[in-house]
């Protein structure tokens, strides 16, 4: 018989659940960890989230929500470190986690859920010490990322590949965001298919919903786009608004949207009076895809007058951006899921995205948006012009977007995760492989 799960240790070494998503290393994973932890706690499962302390003034323990504690473990300097520098502080981080557990009665944690390979490495050691199951979510995988590098993007190092292989070999359960990711875990990392479960991430359906009750019911045309969100954001009622949301980095390819816009304006100069292109998010990594690099690109392309660059925003404000936009564009080179795409659809705004990774699940091609193979700006320009010229098509996709987007909720994610957790508690633990057994 399986034991009840009372307390989960969640590990997120390289980015804190308290960070603002949409900039630096904070993105969908942070949102995932916070939303899942809050809902687990509401169901009586307490969650301690371990992260690396990046500020001396930060207390060691912060209550994020009732039943959810953030534990700031001191390991390495009190400053943001590049992910490539974190492996050398993992030993200190892991011993910090072990010390916290040792201060409690034995059996304080029932299960470990680690996020991203660096956390998996810490979980690998803690699992053996505590004798609890290790559940791991990759979020992104070096082998997948390296196969789809954007120009100017650095390849993920072999240390990460090896580290990921070790974590896969040591985990009792692996969580994939999509069936495609589950297959990649098996085919690229040699994961045991019996230990891989697909659990779809979600969106906060109380926040991400259409402005118009008519659209929410799947009826009507598009009255929401002339509603309060546009007024609040100072956008003209009759504008054609294209939106990019996310970390500004080569992998997310916001430059493809800018180049597509330049093409649209070349083909139809009259559109300039109507078009607004909003980019919401902050820098992540280096290179020309930083916000200032994008602003320079906009100037080079002669489209500065249609652009609005906005800093990373809380999700309440993002919901307004999604509702105010006609189309959200997600031209990423690689995406393990793409929460932005689902949030936009849940607000009734269709998505034009690249046909990669999790976006093939996050967007229902032809029903809630359009998936485009490759990253040729001309292809994006053609689809975006068509959606402008054909309001009937746009309205149909907007209705489909609500249906598809609203089918992803965090409560369903937590239902599925609890099932995986319960399963992990009742199956024999994997024998942890010695590093030499893991293939290079
Ligand atoms: N996000 C945010 N504010 C911003 C930009 C993004 O809160 O200004 C959030 C967004 O709502 C989404 C997450 O960051 O939940 C990005 O997740 P996604 O899966 O799209 O991309 P990732 O960052 O994980 O690559």
- Res. 220: pLDDT tops 90: no
C-alpha of residue 307 to centroid of ligand 1, in Å:
20
Sorted by sequence, the CB contacts under 8 Å of residue 119 that are 6+ apart come out as: 11, 12, 13, 14, 136
Cα(353)–Cα(357) distance, rounded to whole angstroms? 11
- Max Cα-Cα span within the chain: 70
Calculate the CA dihedral of residues 92, 95, 96, 97 and round it to 10 degrees.
130
Cα(28)–Cα(35) distance, rounded to whole angstroms? 10
Please give the pLDDT value at position 440: 45
Among 97-111, 181-195, 223-237, 361-375, the least confident range: 223-237
**Is residue 417 helix, strand or coil?**
helix
Q: What is the pLDDT of residues 78-113, one digit of tens each?
A: 888 888 899 999 999 999 999 999 999 999 999 999
Tell me the best of 339, 343, 362 to mutate to test the pocket of ligand 1, counting ligand atoms within 8 Å of each CB and taking the most: 339
C-alpha of residue 390 to centroid of ligand 1, in Å:
29
Ligand 1 atom with minimal separation from the 311 CA: 8
pLDDT band, very low/low/confident/very high, at 215 (cuts 50, 70, 90) = low
**Is residue 308 helix, strand or coil?**
strand
Query: What DSSP state is assigned to residue 431?
Result: P
What pTM did the predictor assign? Answer: 0.95
Q: What is the pLDDT of residues 55-79, one digit of tens each?
A: 999 999 999 999 999 999 999 998 8
- Res. 384: pLDDT tops 60: yes
**Is residue 391 helix, strand or coil?**
helix
* Protein residue with its CA nearest to atom 17 in ligand 1: 28
Q: What is the pLDDT of residues 247-306, one digit of tens each?
A: 999 999 999 999 999 999 999 999 999 999 999 999 887 544 578 889 999 999 999 999
Ligand 1: lining residues by beta carbon, under 6 Å: 21-22, 27-29, 31, 245-247, 280-281, 312-313, 315, 318, 337-340, 343
C-alpha of residue 175 to centroid of ligand 1, in Å:
20
Confidence check on the interface: ipTM exceeds 0.95, yes or no = yes
Q: Which of 90, 101, 157 is nearest to 124 (CA)?
A: 90
Cα(49)–Cα(377) distance, rounded to whole angstroms? 41
Tracing tokens 């597509």 back to the chain, one arrives at: 260
Which domains are delineated in the chain?
A: 7-202+410-426 (3.40.50.2000), 213-407 (3.40.50.2000)
Q: What is the pLDDT of residues 236-249, one digit of tens each?
A: 999 999 999 999 99
Please give the pLDDT value at position 311: 95
Contact status, residue 352 vs residue 327, Cβ threshold 8 Å: yes
C-alpha of residue 132 to centroid of ligand 1, in Å:
31
Backbone angles phi and psi of 50, in degrees to 5 = -95, 125
Question: Residues marked as binding?
Answer: 14, 20-21, 25-30, 83, 116, 140, 160, 247, 252, 322-323, 325, 335, 343, 349
Question: Residues marked as binding for Mg(2+)?
Answer: 322-323, 325, 349
Contact status, residue 17 vs residue 34, Cβ threshold 8 Å: yes
Tokens representing 361 are: 């699940």
């Amino acid at each position: 018989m399986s034991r009840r799960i009372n307390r989960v240790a969640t590990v997120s070494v390289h980015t804190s659940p308290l960070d603002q998503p949409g900039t630096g290393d904070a993105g969908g994973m942070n949102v995932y960890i916070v939303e899942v932890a809050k809902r687990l706690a509401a169901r009586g499962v307490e969650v301690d989230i371990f992260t690396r302390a990046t500020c001396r003034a930060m207390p060691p323990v912060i209550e994020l929500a009732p039943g959810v504690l953030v534990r700031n473990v001191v390991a390495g300097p009190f400053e943001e470190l590049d992910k490539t520098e974190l492996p050398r502080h993992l030993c200190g981080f892991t011993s910090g986690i072990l010390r916290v557990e040792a201060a409690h009665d034995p059996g304080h944690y029932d299960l470990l859920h680690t996020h991203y390979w660096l956390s998996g490495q810490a979980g690998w050691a803690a699992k053996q010490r505590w004798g609890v199951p290790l559940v791991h979510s990759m979020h992104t995988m070096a082998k997948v990322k390296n196969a789809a590098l954007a120009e100017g993007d650095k390849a993920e190092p072999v240390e990460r590949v090896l580290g990921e292989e070790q974590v896969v070999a040591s985990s009792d359960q692996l969580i994939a965001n999509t069936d495609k990711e589950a297959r990649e875990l098996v085919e690229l990392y040699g994961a045991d298919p019996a230990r891989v479960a697909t659990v779809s991430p979600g969106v906060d359906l109380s926040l991400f919903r259409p402005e118009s009750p008519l659209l929410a019911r799947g009826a009507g045309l598009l009255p929401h786009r002339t509603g309060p969100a546009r007024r609040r954001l100072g956008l003209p009622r009759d504008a054609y608004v294209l939106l990019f949301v996310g970390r500004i980095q080569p992998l997310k390819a916001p430059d493809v949207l800018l180049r597509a816009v330049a093409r649209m304006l070349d083909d139809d100069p009259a559109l300039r009076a109507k078009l607004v292109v909003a980019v919401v998010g902050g820098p992540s990594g280096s290179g020309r895809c930083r916000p200032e690099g994008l602003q320079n690109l906009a100037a080079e392309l002669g489209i500065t007058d249609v652009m609005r660059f906005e800093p990373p925003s809380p999700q309440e404000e993002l919901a307004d951006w999604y509702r105010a936009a006609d189309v959200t564009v997600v031209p990423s080179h690689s995406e393990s899921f793409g929460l932005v795409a689902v949030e936009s659809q849940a607000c009734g705004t269709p998505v034009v995205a690249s046909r990669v990774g999790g976006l093939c699940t996050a967007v229902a091609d032809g029903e809630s948006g359009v998936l485009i193979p490759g990253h040729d700006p001309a292809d994006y320009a053609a689809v975006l012009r068509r959606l402008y010229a054909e309001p009937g098509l746009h309205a149909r996709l907007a209705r489909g977007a609500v249906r598809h987007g609203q089918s992803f909720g965090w409560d369903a994610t937590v239902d599925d995760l609890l099932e995986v957790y319960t399963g992990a508690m009742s199956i024999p633990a994997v024998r942890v492989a010695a590093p030499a057994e893991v293939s290079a």
